[in-house]
A and B are shown apart, each in its own frame.
Chain A
Amino acid sequence: MKLIRYTAYAAEILLALTIQSVPYLLPTVFGEKALLLLPLALSFAVWEEELPSAVLGAVCGMAADLSFSGRVGFFSIFFVIACYILSRLMADYIKTTCLTAVLAAAAVIVLVLSVHCIIFVGDTGFFVRHYAVRILYTLAVMPLFYGLNKAVMARTKRSMV
């Protein structure tokens, strides 16, 4: 059943990458698109253990890096660390609910995209005009991925019983 679950995750990653990259497929909000791979990786981390979360974070991060710059680096590193920490927190310290998942995701999304703006743009006005909208749009899809992967986990774990 793990195979089925990871196959579902792989399909989600491919779908998210395609939807966020292909022009006119994802609606824009004030000219900005959501970075779908980030909330997707965090939704994996909410339900999976630390090692699988880190690996899935790495895969999502590499996909985001290859789409953005063609070189693996920024997103891969951040996604791995964020997914590992989130998975650990959800397992040991925080009760897993939609609200806690969204709040945790909000902290990560703000941090990742803020650092991205500092490194690759370095303009405060640009952050306000573009990244703020991008952060909100990216966060808005988190509940969707949370629910989706909750269902995936429930189905595959039920099948194991």
Chain B
Amino acid sequence: MKKRKKRFRTLAAVAGILLVLVLLTAGNGYVYDLVTGSVLTPLMQTAAQLGNSFAPQKSMEELKQENSRLQAENNRLNDLLADYDDIKEANQELSKFFDIKQEHQDFVLATASVIARDPNENFGGFTLDRGSVDGIAPNMPVLTEKGLVGWVNSVNVHTCKVTTLLSPEAGIAAADKACKENGVITGSAALADSGLTCLTNIRQSSKIAVNDILVTAGSGVYPANVKIGAVRYLTVDSYTGMPMAVVEPFEDAQEVSSVVIVKRFTGEKQ
């Protein structure tokens, strides 16, 4: 009798606990998840790690083959990536000059890269990788998407030398877009240090002002309306006493690495 009562009490206790759990977890499993997750999850994770060490392993031969295959694939992808970078860079360079072509549709252009800068070159001049075999001739204008850089001074079979706007040899007919005044762009040793050039041969009563944009006047040697630079300040030429505008070219000739040579344009003097 006593034993029966004891068994009954045990059964009732277990049923009661189960009932409590059913009531607690009814509706959502939050409590259940909280309890089981806190206890069971770390145990399961540890067991899984142990289990992985017993997983079937690849043989040394299989691993070597897989390694070779992955290395070959990696090399192929690296080559594609290198080609991609080259193509992307070429595309970026050419897209800059596309704007020049859009703006001046009569231009026949040749792209070129700077391959040498002589240490004795004082005014930013450089050598390009285009020459007479590419149809390049002396006095052809050289520009970038920002504006005029200079002109081809001398030509070899495969290379040509460019003299920039900063050189005292420059003599480029220019016009002020705002007031339509004309002048001549010529460099000077004193201004070349600061990357500046000057507009000379302007009238005493000139209306040229600071920040005016200068473009080529279209003399037949240079095409018209190619951007040159902006007027930085106005001064007087110490030798002639005539007014002079100091100009900051839009393109820094010391830093260019690729340019465009204008081989032909409408209105070119033959």
- Contact surface of A with B, Cβ cutoff 8 Å: 20-23, 26, 32-35, 64, 67-71, 116, 120-123, 125-126, 129-130, 134
Alpha-carbon distance between A32 and B153 when the two chains are bound, in angstroms: 23
- Which residue from chain B places its CB closest to the CB of A125 in the assembled complex? B190
Query: Mask for B138-178, Cβ within 8 A of A = 1, else 0?
Result: 00000000000000011010000100000000000000000
* B9 located at the interface, meaning its Cβ lies under 8 Å from any Cβ of chain A in the complex: no
Contacts of B122 on A, CB cut-off 8 Å? 120-121, 126, 130
Known contacts A70-B153, A70-B154, A21 near B116 by CB under 8 Å:
yes
Beyond A34-B119, A69-B154, A120-B122, list 18 extra A-B contacts (CB 8 Å): A21-B117, A21-B118, A22-B115, A23-B114, A23-B117, A26-B119, A35-B120, A64-B120, A67-B116, A67-B118, A68-B118, A68-B120, A69-B161, A70-B153, A70-B154, A121-B122, A122-B189, A125-B190
What residues on A are CB-neighbors of B120 within 8 Å? 35, 64, 67-68, 116, 120
Q: In the bound complex, what is the Cα–Cα distance between A126 and B120 (angstroms)?
A: 13
**B101-139: which residues lie under 8 A (CB-CB) from chain A?**
114-122, 126-127
Q: How many interface contacts (CB-CB < 8 Å) are there between A and B?
A: 54
Residues of B within 8 A of A67 (CB): 116, 118, 120, 127
20 contacts across the A-B interface (CB closer than 8 A): A20-B118, A21-B116, A21-B117, A21-B119, A23-B117, A32-B119, A33-B119, A34-B119, A35-B119, A67-B116, A67-B118, A67-B120, A68-B120, A69-B161, A70-B156, A70-B161, A121-B189, A123-B190, A125-B189, A126-B190
CA of A35 to CA of B161, assembled, Å: 18
**Contacts A70-B154, A70-B156, A70-B161; is A20 near B119 (CB within 8 Å)?**
yes
Q: How many positions in chain B have a CB within 8 Å of any CB in the partner chain? A: 20
C-alpha spacing A51/B116, complex, angstroms: 31
Closest to A23 in B: B117
Shortest beta-carbon distance from B34 to chain A in Å: 64
